[in-house]
Structure 1
């Protein structure tokens, strides 16, 4: 009799566990950029074993006033990321840029704690991220595809100097001569005319992208101003 009761308890426990798992079904949704644009899951194809440089691009997020682009470049063996967006400031629509931390591991990247993998939809490259939440006793699995809208990559050997605000730690990995090239490359990208016959003029005049058009007044971005000042300090230290 005791054995029979024990068997019933085991059967009841198994049935309860099975019933609970059935009420926690995972419902999967796929959409592009925002939840308003649904996609078929079959449209998204994962890129197998992407290289670090394959993540370079400008990936679109959101719509209307919530629009932003996650921009990533690959330079000198590293990935640099920033978010480009617009915001109201003093009754003016101002373009802004915030640097984002980015790590690459096992063919995926992590940006500000969110993991992304590289995929395609209709042969268009994009970032895919996964989100989970409980809803009415079910688990919703949202798969978001953010398309690559092509990035305008700064020219030169050190494009990151015009792309994100660099740190002293990052720049300390470079020699004084490399820092000098990086700093003057910012001027060159903005069309600065170097002294005829000088080292910088001889160096940049050999670059196809260099277009000397300005002698004095140059409008640097906040990112470029920051990096120029920081590099100068390191050159003098």
Structure 2
């Protein structure tokens, strides 16, 4: 009898250790009823209430991260447009899911409050700016859960066109008077920086770049090759001129304001070489006239 008791006691200890190991490896409590809510909820962050200026980006990609739920208290982060802000607030159970009210700290003029629900594996709601004098005071979002995984082989879409819409150069064109016109015609022509398909073919995370291979590339092409490295690691871009190239890419998930420690040796060397060439490279402009 004593031997049976000891054996059962040992088996119990082994079972407990196994359960603790499973929890440690997954980084979560397997018995947590809210574990399916944790993680990255990613999608478009769309301006819905704004002023009449053009001094804002209509759509950015946002990642709402739900990290922990204890009782009715929720903690997480909002990651969008180069900013990663802590979130905290409350939630409650509703008929088909959950309702949340989460707030950013409030010590930044860009902070606000998120009100959303999670139903049928979709996170949907509205963000309200604390500062009602901002260009955008409300944004809507409909997000889906997306796991982040660094993939050095992730490439930009082959069907994408890469033009820097924030680099407009406006030239005044004067057409001289001819036999059929009494006065010279004056009009404006807009030109934008453009990149060729070379950016879809060179992988700056897996290929050792060389001076010979970069010397004929335009400045925008070099910038995109460099920032694609950061995009693969989930860097949230502060510059809207960079965000325009990555926010629409399916594999891109913004997760951090600083990914320097995640870069491989090859990527670091390639970044240095690309930055050196960017200083002296010229740009290619495509024109869109009258």
TM norm. shorter chain > 0.5: no
User: When the two structures are superposed, what TM-score results if normalisation uses the length of structure 1?
Assistant: 0.31
